[in-house]
Structure 1
Amino acid sequence: MSSKALRIHLAPGTVVTVRSSMKAFMGYSLTPDLLSGLRHSGSAALTSMFIASAKSITEMVHPTSRDASSSTKPYFVAYPHQYHFMLDEPEKCQQEKAFLVIVIPVAAWNRRARDAIRKTWGGETVVLGKVVSRFFLLGRVHVDNGSTLPQEELRRESQEHHDLLQADFLDSYYNLTLKTMVMLEWLTARCPGASYAMKTDSDMFVNVHNLVNMLLTAPKHAYMTGRVVRYGAVLREPTSKWFLPEEVFSESHYPPYAMGLGYVFSMDLSQKLIGASRHVEAICIEDVYLGLCLRYLGINLTDPPDYNLFSTWLPFASTRCHWAHVITTILENSEQLLDAWRDFQSMQSC
């Protein structure tokens, strides 16, 4: 291989080419040491973590299921497509007779985030008399030498906690739509008896009590709520992580959608959204894509009883009472979640 180029094979048909002439790659400055380290690294996990934590990609070819011009390919994802589970909990949802199923997409390498959630809000399994089941959804990361993140470590974690779902798609930021659609397929197949499901990110505080309390009086069909965005402008600045060119989406504003930080839906929507995906081309912005599918279905999003229940920011001077009045709040890291949970648990009245 030329010393001026490094080809990283992320998945079959998906290759990132890093050239020494590039100034940056995936949000990192491309120094000679970094380029050399990526090329010669003997640590598959280290290289995988570098790729999995990427926020932008300089040059990437995404496999797609439909024809697209070379300029628009990176904005579409390979769905519909038959993905398979490498780790699964096929019976747990029905055995527990879950009322609510919470699924947290998380990078395979991020054990710290999973453990923090298990120790905090993810440990709440019966709330207001309703069973809550919680699972982590992972993808797979491939690197140049064909190896992956240590799969045996994930198997041991799965055997210990019985809460990992891992499918054989590339685990990357640009495949969050795939993760979401695979989640919907899994919910349809494994949790037909549940009433509701929630998708939330791994850096969120979740007040499960408030969530279940809201759902006790929520519609049971054709229902989705969260931080609902209406008249959201399509970003045309190429440097934005959420950039979409007009060739991909010609409208100036998106249809209403629930922000991907955390949204809740009635279980019947899983199958409906999968059906709509056969008619709505899958783009890489997952929450917007679900909004497009809902528009195709003619289903309106429901605003939560209080707009601030799904908080997109953490107050500068957050108090213990803040945690009592929300359903979700975005955090900076797992340590902050542990601190917030201690505050929440020690709260006596608000």
Structure 2
Amino acid sequence: MSELPISKGERTPWIKFRRCLWYVAALIMVGTLVIYSSVFQESWSLNPRTSTPNSSTSHDSVPPLVDEYTVAYPHEYHFILDELNRCREESPFLVLMIPVAPHNREARHMIRSTWGNVTMVQGKVVSHYFILGQSREENGAETIEEQLLRESRDHRDILQSDFLDSYHNLTIKTMLMFEWLSTHCPQTSYAMKVDSDTFLNVHNLVGMLLKAPQHLYMTGIVVRFAPVLRDQNSKWFLPFSTFPESVYPTYAIGLGYVFSLDLTRKILEAAQHVRALYIEDVYVGLCMKHLGIPLTDPPRNDMFMIWKPSDTGNCYWTSVITTLLHSSNQLLDVWKSYQIQAQSGC
């Protein structure tokens, strides 16, 4: 059936109605886009990974994500206790960087009394610094921050930043170590990250470095093809959603690894593109993989030791570079044994 003809006067109200519907729909679409854009920008600006001192705009930068298996890095942290000029003035051949908890004054005292007191080896200057974050704890009438301020004035070896010091944030502490070295030690050849509960033979370390590569160099206990732990009861558990690969890249165990200073800026550059896992030594390995730089095995497998053997006679302490102890409280006795072996001609 054909449609009845409609006069011009009859079409006008229908056209006006359709135009009103179009305007309403357009307004709804524009409003939705404005709201979405506002929410998206707000959520992005609140993410601590998007504003960093070293970041550059890049399409392949690390996705913004911080959860219980990652940490807020890159991020603009600040040093609240610092040694601005000491490393430049001393121009050390080797800098020892020791991560330690703010309240662990005893460990710092033990190190200063033992291997931290070795400042010259074969004509090469060696210096050390303790790197730490902030604590929520208090210690009697005097706060930990007040103790640290006094300790910093007395020893000039405290580097404290404004992140919360915790095991979970060890990656932040390590990356701030690289940041500090890259900006404060222009004449330094090598640095070592070494845990506070570790025996360190500085003489053997310098002797190894005098024969080591001077560029793109990292060594220690080098681990290859380590499986990712999926057991939720493990201290180092990582879910598949955070790290889908079944094995880790090659990395150096965090109790003590050595690196040439030219690696610091490169690792910081890689950190712009690699999500920061809370397992700090694995994360450094991920950055090295991103850079395509292989780690170097030490000249001997028994130079860097994880566990102290039951028998430490026969010149053991004079033959190694590092050995992990049960705690820093053992360090003084071990240091005496080392000195006895060294004096006996070992």
- Tell me if both proteins adopt one fold, taking TM over 0.5 as the criterion: yes
Give how far 1:177 is off.
0.2
Ranges in structure 1 where 5+ consecutive residues have no aligned partner? 1-62
* Pairs within 5 Å for 1:67-82: 67-68=64-65, 73-82=67-76
Counterparts of 2:292 and 2:165 in 1: how far apart (Å)? 31
Q: Does 1:228 align with 2:229?
A: no
Of 202, 220, 224, 2:196 maps to 202
Q: Does 1:116 align with 2:116?
A: no
Percent identity between the two aligned chains = 56
Of 227, 249, 252, 1:255 maps to 249
AA aligned opposite 2:207? N
Give the conservation status (yes or no) of the 8 Å contact 1:320–1:343.
no
1:130 equivalent in structure 2: 124
Of 207, 214, 219, 2:213 maps to 219
Counterparts of 1:199 and 1:162 in 2: how far apart (Å)? 18
2:147 equivalent in structure 1: 153
* Pairs within 5 Å for 1:239-278: 239-278=233-272
With normalisation by structure 1, the TM-score equals 0.78
1:308 equivalent in structure 2: 302
| CA 1:303–1:149: 2 relative to 1, 3 Å | farther
Give the conservation status (yes or no) of the 8 Å contact 2:137–2:144.
no
| CA 1:200–1:127: 2 relative to 1, 3 Å | same
With normalisation by structure 2, the TM-score equals 0.79
RMSD of the alignment, in Å? 1.7
* Pairs within 5 Å for 1:46-61: none
Counterparts of 1:91 and 1:335 in 2: how far apart (Å)? 32
Q: Report how many aligned residue pairs link the two structures.
A: 283
1:179 equivalent in structure 2: 173
Q: Does 1:192 align with 2:192?
A: no
Bigger CA radius of gyration: 2
Give the conservation status (yes or no) of the 8 Å contact 1:107–1:139.
yes
Give how far 1:317 is off.
2.3
Runs of 4+, deviation exceeding 3 Å: none
Ranges in structure 2 where 5+ consecutive residues have no aligned partner? 1-46, 50-62
2:345 equivalent in structure 1: 349
| CA 1:325–1:244: 2 relative to 1, 3 Å | same
AA aligned opposite 2:210? L
Give the conservation status (yes or no) of the 8 Å contact 1:142–1:148.
no
Give how far 1:307 is off.
1.1
Counterparts of 1:313 and 1:151 in 2: how far apart (Å)? 33
1:141 equivalent in structure 2: 135
2:318 equivalent in structure 1: 324
Partner of 2:220, secondary structure, is: strand
More divergent stretch after superposition (150-159 vs 113-122): 150-159
2:279 equivalent in structure 1: 285
The structure richer in strand per residue is 1
Residue by residue over 1:111-169, the C-alpha shift from the partner in whole angstroms, topping out at 9 and shown as x without a partner, is 0000000000000000111000100001002369xx99521111110111110000000
